[in-house]
Amino acid sequence: MDVVRIRGGNPLRGSVKISGAKNAALPIFAATLLTEEPCIIENVPDLSDIRSMGELLAHLGAKVERLDPHTWRVTAGEISHTAPYELMRKMRASVCLMGPLVGRLKRSVTSLPGGCVIGPRPIDLHLKGFSKLGCKIDIEEGYVKMDGSALKGGDVFLGGRHGSTVLGTDNILMAATLAPGTTRIESAACEPEVIDLCNMLVAMGANIKGIGSHALVVEGVERLRGCTYRIIPDRIEAGTFVLGAAMSGGNVTIQGARYDHLTALFDKLEEAGLPIPRGESDQIQVNASGLSLSPVDIITLPHPAFPTDLQAQMCALMAVTPGLSIVTEKVYPHRFMHVPELQRMGADIAIEGASAIIKGVANLSGAPVMASDLRASAALFLAGLAATGETWVQRIYHIDRGYEKIDEKLRQLGADITRMPASEMPTQFLEEVAAGEG
Ligand code: EPZ
């Protein structure tokens, strides 16, 4: 198992290229099951989650080929309708196999997703949606068994306690493309990744109206065909580098990102005193050199509001911004696993219900810290860049799930960051880690 050592204090400078979006690639890979024809997916990020999804599709019987590091071809000729727990438990996003399997094969057996450190993640909205499309659903021995022999178009409302559901929208959308009749999805999620999936499905021959809105109308078709599709850039990776530049007082050009996917973040950074001008088409310039920022309050909500997947990184920035800021998490109210680790680095943060009350400090100090999930680990990397001294981040397999070669990209921007086997970590930290793991 690897760890990362970060020696803080270097402002990030230079340019960095953003990879394809993980949260678009995963449902798009699942969508290839909707046709027996080959689908070529381009600009795929090189991540462990993508490889897990490739394994899953291959297990179902699809021919999965990696044509180059960022291009895959999937040909789902004859496929099975059963996805096992052993493979699905690796990655929650595998839940979006249900839609294409029941859409194409009119039945599916998939494992119920397990627990998640960022909080309860039920799939009641997904199941409600499938039953509205005529599916009979049984939950047995930890599996969801769906009989879609009567699958047909229907009216589905996908609004839940925390707003719309992203993978729930993807699932119902994919099933509806091959369900006879009209499906209306109200309170659909409209994240850029959902729009990307819609565009891929249309390229396969699906009939979808209202793309980008909360109301999608799908006319079921007989069959779908193969296609070649290029995935959008990863707005969360781009947002993480924007916040890295802000935290280190750097000057960074972010290449291959979409400005319009991050306007909620830019609005808040402008309020904090860091304007991010709309630059050339796919370039974002972040110049925080010599700037002292002001605290801002954040509320996470579904797109186009402030994304929950940038909440932890924003907490890290506010932790070193003098003054009081309140970060309220409305999508995953318990998503604060990064806070105790930031406190270990000297941050002054208190959790009140679904809010983090942050009193900015002048400096964070390096410390051994533990990553608990993907975005929490990104926040710890950013905190390490801004801290004095050395920060050792463990369990970095979390960050490799969602960030392609992040330590190499940060080094390219001047960060003093080194990945190494855990055995090379100072033993006193190892001991400390042992205690923490208990
Ligand atoms: C997607 O997860 C993303 N994952 C998450 O990114 C992201 O945090 C989330 O959307 C919100 O933007 C992928 O795309 C692979 P939801 P998803 O269903 O679809 C509740 C990352 O860091 N809910 O939109 O699983 C749920 O508990 C990951 O890359 C129900 O109550 O999220 C949550 O509170 C983490 N019932 C809220 O809705 C349901 O049936 C939003 O969840 C479904 C969801």
Q: Report yes or no: 234 and 45 within 8 Å, Cβ to Cβ.
A: yes
Catalytic residues: 116
Q: pLDDT category, 433, cuts 50, 70, 90?
A: very low
Hey, what's the torsion of the CAs at 195, 201, 204, 208, to 10 degrees? Answer: -90
Give the per-residue pLDDT at 279.
Answer: 77
CA distance 15 to 13: 7
Q: What angle do CA 362, 364, 365 make, to 5 degrees?
A: 135
| Tokens read off for 308 | 């929950």
Q: Is the CB of 162 under 6 A from ligand 1?
A: yes
Is it the case that residue 87 has pLDDT exceeding 90? no
Secondary structure of the chain as H, E, C letters: CEEEEEECCCCCEEEEECCECHHHHHHHHHHHHHCCCEEEEECCCCCHHHHHHHHHHHHCCCEEEEEECCEEEEECCCCCCEECHHHHCCCHHHHHHHHHHHHHHCEEEEECCCCCCCCCCCCHHHHHHHHHCCCEEEEECCEEEEECCCCCCCEEECCECCECCHHHHHHHHHHHCCCCCEEEEECCCCCHHHHHHHHHHHHCCCEEECCCCCCEEEECCCCCCCCEEECCECHHHHHHHHHHHHHHCCEEEEECCCHHHCHHHHHHHHHCCCCCCECCCCEEEEECCCCCCCCCCEEECCCCCECHHHHHHHHHHHHCCCEEEEEEECCCCCCCCHHHHHHHCCCEEEEECCEEEEEECCCCECCEEECCCHHHHHHHHHHHHHCECEEEEECCHHHHCCCCCHHHHHHHCCCEEEEEEHHHCCHHHHHHHHHHHC
Q: Return the ligand 1 atom nearest residue 121 CA.
A: 27
- Does ligand 1 have an atom closer than 6 angstroms to the CB of 331? yes
Q: Count CA atoms closer than 13 A to 212's CA, side-chain side.
A: 3
Q: Among the atoms of ligand 1, which is closest to the Cα of residue 170?
A: 19
Evaluate: CB of 122 within 6 angstroms of ligand 1: yes
Expressed in angstroms and rounded, the spacing between residue 160 Cα and the centre of ligand 1 is 11
121 CB near ligand 1 (under 6 Å): yes
Kindly state the average pLDDT of the residues 336-348: 98
Does residue 90 surpass a pLDDT of 90? no
Mean pLDDT of 204-218: 98
Tell how far CA 367 is from the center of its chain: 27
CA of 372 to the centre of ligand 1 (A): 17
Ligand 1 binding pocket includes 309 (Cβ within 6 Å) = yes
Asked if residue 161 has its Cβ within 6 Å of ligand 1, the reply is yes
Pocket test for ligand 1, best of 165, 329, 400 (most atoms within 8 A of CB): 165
pLDDT band at 120 (very low <50, low <70, confident <90, very high): confident
- Say what the pTM is: 0.97
**What pLDDT was estimated at residue 437?**
41
User: From the CB of 114, is ligand 1 less than 6 Å away?
Assistant: no
Centre of ligand 1 from the C-alpha of residue 402, in Å: 15
Q: How many CB atoms lie within 10 A of CB 139?
A: 10
Atom of ligand 1 at shortest range from CA of 302: 12
pLDDT of residue 431: 59
Is the predicted pLDDT of residue 345 greater than 80, yes or no?
yes
How much is the pLDDT for 407? 98
For residue range 63-83, list pLDDT tens digits in order.
999 999 999 999 999 999 999
Q: Is the pLDDT of residue 436 over 50?
A: no
* pLDDT for 392: 96
Q: Is omega for the bond preceding 192 within 30 degrees of 0, making it cis? A: no
How far apart are the CA of 69 and the centre of ligand 1, in A?
A: 28
Share of the chain above pLDDT 70, in %: 98
pLDDT on residue 172: 98
Task: Give pLDDT, residue 428.
Answer: 76
Interatomic CA distance for residues 173 and 189, integer angstroms: 11
Quote the ligand 1 centre to 308 CA distance (angstroms): 9
Residue among 22, 92, 166, 401 whose CB has most ligand 1 atoms within 8 A, to mutate: 166
Residue 430 has pLDDT above 70, yes or no: no
Find the 179 Cα to ligand 1 centroid distance in Å. Answer: 25
Q: pLDDT category, 34, cuts 50, 70, 90?
A: very high
Our mutation pick for probing the ligand 1 site, out of 19, 22, 23, counting the most ligand atoms within 8 A of Cβ, is 23
158 lines ligand 1 (CB under 6 A): no
Instruction: Select from 131, 331, 336, 398 the residue to mutate for testing ligand 1; criterion: most ligand atoms less than 8 Å from CB.
Output: 331
Distance 348 CA to ligand 1 centre (A): 28
Evaluate if residue 290 carries a pLDDT over 90.
yes
For tokens 């096992």, the residue is 84
Average pLDDT along the chain: 95
pLDDT of residue 7: 98
| Percent of the chain topping pLDDT 90 | 92
- Indicate which residue's Cα is closest to atom 14 of ligand 1: 23
Asked which of 235-239, 247-251, 424-428 is least confident by mean pLDDT, the reply is 424-428
Neighbours of 141 (CB within 10 A): 8
Q: What is the mean pLDDT of residues 34-47?
A: 98
pLDDT tens column, 391-414: 999 999 999 999 999 999 999 999
